[in-house]
Amino acid sequence: MKKSKIILGFLWLLAFLAIPVQASSIFSWAETIYVNTPVERNMYAVAGNLMVSKPIGGDLIAFGESISISSNVNEDFMGFGTNIYIDSKVAGDVRIAWQNIIINQDIWWDFIAFGASVTVAPDVKIWWDFVVYWATVNMNGTVNGNAYIGSAWLSLNWQIKGNAKLNFEEIKLGDGAKINGSLSYKAPQTNTELEGISNGEITFKASIKEGSQKFFFGLIKWIVFYKWAYISLFALILVLIFRKIFKEVSDTLKKSPRQSLLAGFLCYTLPPFAILILLITVLGIPLAWILSLLYIILWIMWGFVSSAILSSWFIDSFRGGIKNAAWWKILLTVIVVSFLFTIISGIDMIAIFFAIWALVLYKINFTKKTLKSL
């Protein structure tokens, strides 16, 4: 671990935890820290490896890859580490997070953890509440307070003297599992074995089943396919019917791509502000509602219109241009462009910016030519 990263981690820790600092507190950051002498007050440490072998008189706040506590911490312990081992008593609260957390000694207040794996050894007591989320939990000790667990896989061989609120996908119960208070759990299906170890009120809520998940993702796939299909269909119709118009629009786009992007962005973003200003004035409210409706309709239509314009731009780059392009070449280009619009977030918005101004310029030039001919 580089020293710069260690210092950065230490500053991050202080900034976000708003730790009260006492004059006799100890600050340490190094690749490896050995606590070989007692610490009277608080200790703040950032290290690759932290090994505590002498008592900490106050709080221990630690950030590191591996944290091992083999002597008592007389107040709270807050730790962030890849591997955290508590092999001695912590007299205050424990709040820890990251990957592997192993508890081999009593926690005298609350235990709160977020990690990949939490293991509590047999005969260990959590004297107040036990709160664990986002982890595989293997609990063999006793909780004197309440338990709140959210876990994909949960193994219980323990006694909860308070209430239990559990959220899991799979559960394994040992012979020592017992809940003295009420049980509230969320799982794919009811678990009679779990309900049998509770002495209080039982509440069950079904989690999303695999079939529901498949239906949900299947629905999303159909929505994406539908969007791609209707954009492709309408863009193809526009290009085939109005080849000459889209040829002129693509020429305009080629001549001034930067101007088209900037002007299209302004045309797309300024109307909502104009609508808002009109809504503020009483007389402008009817006009604002009409503009809002038109803006929504145009927003829906611009998907396949911009697809048609960009497809024409690409086709016109081929030999022979769009006027002489074969139908299969037009079809293939429209399908590919529409597919990109559908799956790549943001590309359709950028294309709309290009397309709006190119089409506006075409309409302006067309109007000028029409007026001159009159």
Among candidate residues 171, 159, 165, 169, the one with its CA nearest the CA of residue 183: 165
CB 303, CB 228: distance < 8 Å: no
Domain-terminating residue out of 209, 229, 246: 209
Domain-terminating residue out of 178, 194, 209: 209
Q: Are residue 174 and residue 222 in the same domain, yes or no?
A: no
Q: Are residue 169 and residue 278 in the same domain, yes or no?
A: no
Q: Are residue 303 and residue 195 in the same domain, yes or no?
A: no
Q: Are residue 195 and residue 160 in the same domain, yes or no?
A: yes
Among candidate residues 105, 184, 127, 193, the one with its CA nearest the CA of residue 157: 193
The pTM for the full model equals: 0.50
Among candidate residues 205, 202, 150, the one with its CA nearest the CA of residue 181: 202
Residue of 294 and 336 predicted with greater confidence: 336
Residue of 253 and 187 predicted with greater confidence: 187
pLDDT tens sequence across 250-265: 777 777 777 767 777 7
pLDDT tens sequence across 103-126: 898 888 888 888 778 888 888 888
Q: Are residue 63 and residue 195 in the same domain, yes or no?
A: yes
Indicate the number of domains in the chain: 2
| Joined tokens for residue 55 | 């008592």
CB 369, CB 274: distance < 8 Å: no
Based on the number of CB atoms within 10 Å of its own CB, is 271 exposed (0-12), middle (13-18) or buried (19 or more)? middle
Q: Are residue 196 and residue 239 in the same domain, yes or no?
A: no
On the CB side of 236, how many CA atoms lie within 13 Å of its CA?
19
Q: Are residue 251 and residue 198 in the same domain, yes or no?
A: no
Q: Are residue 162 and residue 230 in the same domain, yes or no?
A: no
pLDDT greater than 50 at residue 132: yes
Q: Are residue 221 and residue 195 in the same domain, yes or no?
A: no
Domain-terminating residue out of 191, 209, 227: 209
What does the pLDDT read at residue 8? 39
What DSSP line would sit under 165-218, residue for residue? EEEEEEEEE-TT-EESS-EEEEESS--HHHHTTB-S-EEEEEPPPHHHHHHHHH
Phi, psi for 144 (deg, rounded to 5): -80, -20
Domain that holds residue 14: 3-209
Among candidate residues 238, 242, 228, 250, the one with its CA nearest the CA of residue 351: 250
CA torsion angle 49 53 56 60 (round to 10): 20
pLDDT tens sequence across 284-308: 677 777 777 777 766 666 667 777 7
Structure confidence at residue 319 as a pLDDT band (50, 70, 90):
low
Q: Are residue 262 and residue 287 in the same domain, yes or no?
A: yes
Q: Are residue 199 and residue 312 in the same domain, yes or no?
A: no
The CA–CA distances, whole Å, from 169 to 7, 50, 204, 218 equal 40, 34, 13, 22
Q: Are residue 288 and residue 186 in the same domain, yes or no?
A: no
